[in-house]
Amino acid sequence: MNLARKIIAAHLTEGEMTAGEEIAIRIDQTLTQDSTGTMAYLQFESMNCDKVKTMRSVAYIDHNTLQSGFENADDHAYIQSVALSHGIYVSKPGNGICHQVHLERFGVPGLTLLGSDSHTPTGGGIGMLAIGAGGLDVAVAMSGGALHLTMPKIVKVELKGKLKNNASAKDVILEVLRLLTVKGGVGKIIEYCGEGVKTLTVPERATITNMGAELGATTSVFPSDEQTRAFLKAQGRECDFKPLAADDGASYDEEVTIDLSALKPLAACPHSPDAVKPVKDIGKIKVDQVCIGSCTNSSYADMMKVAAILKGRKVCPETSLTISPGSRQVLTMLAKSGALADILDAGARVLECACGPCIGMGQSPKTDAVSVRTFNRNFYARTGTASASVYLVSPETAAFTAVNGYLTDPSEMPQVGEIPMPTSFAVNDNLILKPDDFEDVKVVRGPNIKPFPINTELKAKVTGGVLIKCEDNITTDHIMPSNAKLLPYRSNIPYLSDYCLNPVDPTFSERAKAAGGGFIVAGANYGQGSSREHAALVPLYLKIKGVIAKSFARIHRDNLINSGILPLVFEDAKDYDKTDAGDELVIDDARKQIEDGEIITVRNVTKNRTFECRLSLTERLKKVVLAGGVLALAGKSGK
Ligand code: MIC
Ligand code: SF4
């Protein structure tokens, strides 16, 4: 058996492990972050569960840390109080980015982790089966429910050799993205193995599993070995270590081989994480801004490499360099070692240990800027500046680029050398609140916390106009943008509804409201990116009845179903071309069609034609969709 199947087998509660079939697995740990957390906890509260049923659940506050009004502060107070009163740990703002801190303080090889953030698979770096999901699925897991998912195919990525010439773990995942593309991982788990694995530390592995989210993969996983033991020991948690690996000769559904010693520094060009080219081939373009950090590249070793490059050098006068260490642990160690002084001396701006610029919380670049980032997403407009061009690179490429002021291939620069794994990390958990230390916590709900919408049961006849026709690879950043102006309203769906699909068509929301809802038509991989269920809850609020696309990204499809919005797939892709914005669509006998099978006939009244869509749902999900979503099925009604 391969490793992914072993962990699934150990947690299987329903179904058989046949790729494409629905299975259910027990969830050992959950994590939430603040921008998806408020919704997740509101939903969790509606399940009337006194204490979480998981082995460990942690609420992180790391996204929404610019308190420019009362809204974020209200959200933080709500999350802290609702978590502590339900047996959930709280990682306070300043403690770090959820994925980095979870790896450091809570990750355990062989356990399952479900997180309301798409980069939860970072935990695969320590041998967890770590999956991103919408907040509602996490709420269900917290209340003791299993996670239902489609049994993925398992892809083996065999790593050979050892990285050299300033190539980095980031270049490994950029190479995988170049080979497989942003939709190549949908319905798959990426499992790393081979001799090259031993040469990578846990934080390096976590960089690779983190950005597996950009492949659309269910998750990515590394074995747990002596590197894992060394990391856990240095975190004072050797007791959590357990060796885990695939059996010799284990079988896989697909295989890819990457020779680490042949890897060149790579960059993902605007506006997609799979638009990957060698840095050298892109050329020495002038760079206005460099941002180092995010859950992909903000470990101690990443920061020490950056400090080593900056030591004795100066940031180019025409370039801005920001650095956000991934956790307070990392920042403390930089400070104690003197590396922080090297970073500051060079002229970098050191930001809070949080997501920051990665989610547009500050540092939006200037008009038409070129921004080089160590992050994982360069989707259109995600920085908050639609005209900016973002390149995703390794910390080595970013640091040399900041010094030179132009995109720099680090393989042509002096060798940075290895940063040894510390024998002990600076462990200090005083920003982690333990529920047992608090009694009688009252849940605090400020005026920014608004009720979330709940759908009603599906009508027999579903009608509506096509409100918008989108292209391939529409991201959740298109559907429900997030930035410093909007993130404070994550608990306020009515407010957010004015911005739905704004980067694609700023008139969408107004038109949807005027029409009283309708359909969205889209190309392939609709909803890639974030786990934010706001990308479904806001369309639900706008009375969107269905999205008809060539294909869907996993988490977003689940979020649509959870909200009772139909994720319909064109049976014949040519019908996408024959359907236009403004067309009036009718699904006659919708309930019966769904009950009877997978093919749904849609009538295009405007074009006087019919076409077929596929809606592949298990019997369980049919009930969900017919009821109008998970909460409607559970008898809850909206306000
Ligand atoms: C992101 O990177 O897009 C986010 C912000 O972390 C999201 C979660 C969110 O939208 O709150 C994600 O990746 O799931
Ligand atoms: Fe935060 Fe960016 Fe990571 Fe999302 S991708 S969790 S915004 S650092």
Q: Distances in Å between the alpha carbon of 589 and those of 207, 563, 620?
A: 48, 20, 20
Structure tokens at 591: 């309930």
What's 595's DSSP letter? H
Nearest CA to ligand 1 atom 5: 359
Q: Which residues 6+ apart lie within 8 Å of 596 measured at CB?
A: none
Which residue has 């357990």 as its token pair?
242
Ligand 2: residues whose CB is within 6 Å? 63, 97, 117, 119, 294-295, 355, 358-359, 375-376
Distance of CA 430 to the CA centre of its chain: 27
Cα(266)–Cα(179) distance, integer angstroms:
13
Helices 339-346 and 328-337: angle between axes, nearest 10 degrees = 90
- List, for residues 405-420, the tens digit of each pLDDT value: 999 999 999 999 899 9
Identify the burial level of 637 via C-beta atoms within 10 angstroms of its C-beta, where 0-12 means exposed, 13-18 middle and 19 or more buried: exposed
- Decide: helix, strand or coil at residue 115: strand
pLDDT of residue 451: 86
Tell me the per-residue pLDDT of 252-269, one tens digit each, with 9 for 90 and over. Answer: 999 999 999 999 999 999
pLDDT exceeds cutoff 60 at 639: no
Q: Per-residue pLDDT tens for 515-531? A: 999 999 999 999 999 99
* Tens-place pLDDT, residues 356-402: 999 999 999 999 999 999 999 999 999 999 999 999 999 999 999 99
**Contact call for residues 629 and 454 (beta carbons, < 8 A):** yes
> In residues, how long is the chain?
639
**Burial status of residue 574 (CB atoms within 10 A of its CB: 0-12, 13-18, 19 or more):** exposed
Within 6 A (CB) of ligand 1 lie 35-36, 63, 117-119, 359, 482, 529-532
Please work out, in degrees rounded to the nearest 5, the angle formed at the alpha carbon of residue 120 by the alpha carbons of 473 and 455.
65
Ligand 1 atom at minimal distance to the Cα of residue 382: 3
Residue partners of 497: CB distance under 8 A and separation at least 6: 509, 513, 538, 541, 542
Looking only at the bridges linking them, the beta strands covering 22-25 and 147-150 are antiparallel
Residue nearest to atom 4 of ligand 1 (CA): 530
CA distance 81 to 442: 6
- Which residues on adjacent β-strands are paired with residue 321? 290
pLDDT digits (tens, 9 = 90+) for 473-506: 999 999 999 989 999 999 999 999 999 999 999 9
Classify the C-alpha dihedral 278-280-283-285 as positive or negative: positive
3 state SS of 466: strand
Please check whether residue 219 is in contact with residue 131, taking contact to mean a CB–CB distance below 8 angstroms.
Answer: yes
Q: Is the pLDDT of residue 638 over 80?
A: no
Dihedral (C-alpha) 402, 407, 412, 414: value to the nearest 10 degrees?
Answer: 10
Q: What is the pLDDT of residue 115?
A: 98
Looking at residue 496, what is its pLDDT? 97
Range list of β-strands (E), 3-134: 12-14, 22-25, 29-32, 56-60, 89-91, 112-115, 129-132
Read off the pLDDT of residues 568-622 as tens digits, 9 standing for 90 and up. Answer: 999 999 999 999 999 999 999 999 999 999 999 999 999 999 999 999 999 999 9
Average the pLDDT over 286-311 and give the result. 98
Nearest to 64 by CA among 120, 115, 103, 117: 117
Output the furthest CA–CA distance in the chain (Å, rounded): 72
Whole-number Å distance between alpha carbons of 206 and 33:
18
| DSSP symbol at 383 | T
Q: What is the mean pLDDT of the chain?
A: 97
Residue from 294, 361, 476 whose mutation best tests the ligand 2 pocket (most atoms within 8 A of CB): 294
Ligand showing the shortest atom-to-Cα distance for residue 355: 2
Indicate the helix (H) or strand (E) that contains 302: helix 300-310
Place of tokens 């990457």: 258
Mind spelling out the 3-state secondary structure of 193-204? ECHHHHHCCHHH
CA–CA dist 570, 518 (Å, integer): 17
Q: How far is the CA of 359 from the centre of ligand 2 (A)?
A: 6
> The pTM is what?
0.98
Report CA(412)–ligand 1 centroid distance (Å): 34
Q: Which of 97, 374, 390, 482 to mutate to test the pocket of ligand 1 (most atoms within 8 A of CB)?
A: 482
Higher pLDDT, residue 451 or 535:
535
By percentage, how much of the chain surpasses pLDDT 70?
100
Is the pLDDT at 637 greater than 90? The verdict is: no
* Continuous H helices in 1-53: 3-11, 34-45
pLDDT score recorded for residue 67: 87
Question: 373 forms bridges with which residues in the sheet?
Answer: 291, 392
